[in-house]
Chains A and B, each alone.
Chain A
């Protein structure tokens, strides 16, 4: 009987510790809690409870969200795109990008020669191998994601294989990105689209090369957020990166986007 009582008490104690553990750890971090409570009205009680000791997860997660991850993704991703979808992306990019920046087109053009052999292999996760073979121009659609989600509707018809709607849905539903982060990204996409709108209207302060830089940065942000937890979506976005740029950089196509 005594043993029983001891076991029970130990169990309850253990359970109690599990809930109280968080508050204990935050105490050693005085700067955060006191300041937070001082600023906010309701904060006093909450910070204590919320200021848990989830440092382990964050230590790992934080860096991911930040910069270290970004560079890694970007570089490997780009080459992948070129190799996989050379034929597809090449046609659309050429006409569009020729005017603005030579960077992206250059990469795609270099990949051209390889296209022929690459075609069969690519067979990207998204079911698009068949269409590309039939028509090169249609192929550019590997998969578009990231920003144009807004521009989905109009783009779909012009590029049969470019399933912007699906990518938009995938971005919305992915669990790799939190809600607030998604909203932030959407804001930044909207800002970029406004930049394009102003540019084509003649009001824009930024040149097409600056817009391209902003576009690349935004892509990097999205990819850095996705690369670890939703690699498929990340690769889809990488694959459609140039195609999306083609839509944005062409005033006519951009106007048709209705964003």
Chain B
């Protein structure tokens, strides 16, 4: 019985270890989406909420909005955040 309990505990620990990274990743992604949502809103462009983000390069994102709008959000060489509408 002890052996089973021990094994169960190990398996739980193992599962926790596996789940932690994915959880952290989801948190980061949620923060990024929120950030990009705010950026688009600050530019006065329609979006509602960012539902998908693809990082094309550093500080360069392809964004899909809940309302169907698609944007490219990137930092240009002048240090400005640019939001371009994509089709």
Q: Which residues of A contact B34 (CB under 8 A)?
A: 57-58, 61-62, 65, 178
Smallest CB separation, A180 vs chain B (Å): 5
- Output the nearest chain B residue to A44 by Cβ-Cβ distance: B54
Smallest CB separation, B68 vs chain A (Å): 6
Taken together as a complex, chains A and B put the C-alpha atoms of A35 and B71 apart, in Å, by 11
Taken together as a complex, chains A and B put the C-alpha atoms of A38 and B2 apart, in Å, by 55
- Output the nearest chain B residue to A5 by Cβ-Cβ distance: B7
- Output the nearest chain A residue to B33 by Cβ-Cβ distance: A58
| CB proximity to A under 8 Å, residues B19-51 | 19, 22-23, 26, 29-39, 41-43, 48-51
Taken together as a complex, chains A and B put the C-alpha atoms of A184 and B39 apart, in Å, by 6
B23 in contact with A18 (CB, 8 Å): yes
Taken together as a complex, chains A and B put the C-alpha atoms of A46 and B61 apart, in Å, by 11
> Which residue of B23, B48, B54, B68 is within 8 Å of A62 (Cβ)?
B48
Q: Which residues of A contact B56 (CB under 8 A)?
A: 40-43
Total A-B pairs, Cβ < 8 A: 161
Q: Which residues of A contact B53 (CB under 8 A)?
A: 50
Smallest CB separation, A124 vs chain B (Å): 27
A29 in contact with B49 (CB, 8 Å): no
A36 in contact with B4 (CB, 8 Å): no
Smallest CB separation, B1 vs chain A (Å): 11
Q: Which residues of B contact A22 (CB under 8 A)?
A: 22, 26
Smallest CB separation, A246 vs chain B (Å): 25
Contacts A11-B15, A18-B18, A55-B51 given; 14 further ones with Cβ under 8 A?
A: A8-B11, A15-B18, A29-B52, A32-B64, A39-B72, A47-B64, A50-B52, A62-B48, A66-B41, A180-B59, A181-B39, A183-B75, A184-B38, A185-B42
